[in-house]
Structure 1
Amino acid sequence: MLITLLALSMTASAKNGLVDTLHQAPVDNPILHRLTPTFTTDYVQLGKISQHWFVGIQGGASAFIGKPLGCGDLFDRTTPSFNAYLGKWLTPNVGTRLSFQGFKYMNSELSKTSFQLVHADLMYNVANLFRRSSDNMPKWDFAPYLGAGLTHGYTDLLPDGSKERNFQFALTYGVYSRYHITPHFFLSGELGGFSTFRGFDGIGERGKLGDNMFSLSLGIGVNLGNPGCKHVIDPIPYINQNDYLLSYTEKLEKANKLLTSQHNIDRKTLDELKKILEIEGLLDKYGYLFDDSENGKNNYRGLLSLRSRMRNMNGDNHSFIPESLAETPNVLNIPIFFFFKLGKAELTDNSQLINLDELAKVAIEHQLKVHIAGAADSSTGSENINDKLSQARTRFIAKELQKRGVPTEKMKGVSLGGIKEYDNPKDNRYSKVSLYLELDEQMMNGQKTE
């Protein structure tokens, strides 16, 4: 017996070491949870050539300031202006547009003259530098721009009295902003201007820069096609999660190999111990220690030796009673358990009914009494529910034995209610059946009889 206890102690110690190894793996690490996609700030998935176009019109006021300056202040030089444009965003930050601007302006002599300007601009949306990347359409855009084009502000008179347009190079600049009412419609505003040569208004020295036009305008616009750019999902968190899972899987595989190796050692140890007990004639006494049945099931090894015990009893040999049950000498066998499904008076495995056949045969053949104790798991259900459930499980076994010919007066049942006898909750969902030579009523004290 000392050898048995020592071997079991060593096995338990080894298993605890393996469990500690498994617990080192941080199962609750947040990286194991489902990741929320995040978007990169540097990469976007560009759309088709037909996508991300926009068009708009604006109206406002413009003021001409040239060299020579001439008479009048800024308000004297202010006139209405018009602007129309067509553009495309190449990326969420960079865009380009072609714009037409024109109407009337006051030259240095405060004479109202027509002008036109056609220019191409390169825009940079600085608003994206101050917000997180997202697939949602942003409300605001703020884009400084710089460009170039052709303009003219007066008409040369030829000697024959005809007119000739005087086109000049112009440098454009400004700030363009818009606010999205919907993904496709927006309000726009612009503060800009252009600089060109002094001959723009026909007054001043030609060939030198010096004439400027400044404008402030508001308008509306429309996004054509898909208005937004799709941002690329940042792969770094997923790469990190994949690397962690690979590492964690390797740890589990190593722990599994250790457990498998220890299991094989345990099995060999138990086989050797069983041989020792069999040689010493103690296998019947301590054989239950080697019961390797699963939780919630029973292999009913006690039934296999019950008939031989009865034969020994009929031969007036009572040595079959285990020492551990010496205080209750009427008990013929270690109790047989029948396990039930959660919340039901229904066996987890109907094959258990075969063992009831054997119990019924032995009880009838030797005119034994049957004691049935039904129980429920206290970790689930209320006290009232568990009382009713344990009673139902007792009645279930009693009815099954009655079907197999055991007289009702030979059976006695008790309800244990909700119990916590075993660590595994499903091991407490049982009906326990014991056979007696004479039912010792004192054993029933404190228990509720069916």
Structure 2
Amino acid sequence: MNMMLRKSLIAAVACLSLAPALRAQQTTDSVYTVEVKDADKYRVETNRFGANWFAGIGAGAQMYFGDHDKQMRFVDRITPNFEAYFGKWFTPGIGIRLGANGYKIKGLSAWTGHNNAVAPGVNRGNYGGFIVDWNPATRTGKLYQHSNVNYPVFETEQQYIHAHADVLFNVTQMVCGYNEDRFYSLIPYAGLGFATTLERASTTGRHSNEVTASVGLLNRFRINRAWDINLDIRGAYVGDHFDQEDVSATPAGVPVNTAGRWGEGLLTATVGVSYNFPKRGWDRSTITTIRVNENVLNDLRGRLSDLEGQNSDLRRQLEEALNREVTPENVAAGMPLLVTFPINRWTLSNKDRVNLGFLAEALKANPKLVYSVSGYADKGTGSVKRNIFLARKRAEVVYNCLVNEFGVSESQLKKDSHGGVANMYYNDPRCSRSVLSKVAE
């Protein structure tokens, strides 16, 4: 019976092992993959940090909105402005930019306001700021000839640089979907910065340093994937002290703040170019479809179904063989009998005694048969000494049951033990905690 079961199991394993190979062979020429670009225009693949960087420069005009600049002609207030920056797009719609712009701004310095409680000793005729050709002795500078007021007004000029960090929002890409080759993009932005003058005010001898807040509109015109032309319009807010026109001096030369406006503004407009470094743009998401020939699938399903049926049948036969009750009808002379024991035990169960009784009847019916009663223990548990003891006790209890309980002649039995052994059957340690009775060799 053991030999038959072994052959059946080997056949089952062979069949099951051939199934993956068969499946691979059949699908090699019948399976193909189709990748289709995702049609969703709002979905793209996220790139690595080194992708979608850009840098640019620009030049244009600017105008400052100071305390008295409205008294200056519009054309006289316009001055050149230059800009340089670099940045990165994290998505088609959101990016950041770090840059600097500036050069010089022009304005007017007129009479400061007077508040005796705030600035005692400062008369209405004092002036402040970056006055051109300022003469401290006479407290005069370069007069502005086109003023429409009846008191002296002096020209001012200050060189500055404005560093800023902006968050960019490509509204066109957000609303209309991603298109790397789109010609025009509307990109509002907001940012914070810091503005400082490159020279000292003529009336106070101090630099101006102010935190700024900006909003702007970047108009991008794409030439190709590497180059863009940009029209950038920015409005920046600065503190009221940046042009220092509100800082007067007492006759003793001590700077005193005399005005109290909430702030001043700077409007710039530049035209320039920007370069987009590789890797540029975003890849579209893809939808992967795996297709298999339906006839091949049906054939594989049939083969697998057959193999599963054979496997189930073999499992059932094995289970029936292991659990089959020993009876006078199915015990034949010469058939071996395996009695198993729990871990660290050598007591016979009633079921084992029934099986041994049937074996005893077969032996007494064939007086010339001599059986070997061999005890075993599981090598994987217990010490060597303990396993030798268990194997001997298990052989003795089976031997004594056959002789004392069922009257088998001692001349028909040989008793021995083998101590702890490796798994003898089906890689199952339970089958090694046993006594095997078989025809003596």
- TM-score of the superposed pair, with normalisation by structure 2: 0.42
Q: Which has the higher contact order (CA 8 A, sep 6+)?
A: 2
**Higher helix fraction (1 or 2):** 1
Q: Considering only CA atoms, is the larger Rg found in Structure 1 or Structure 2?
A: 2
- TM-score of the superposed pair, with normalisation by structure 1: 0.41
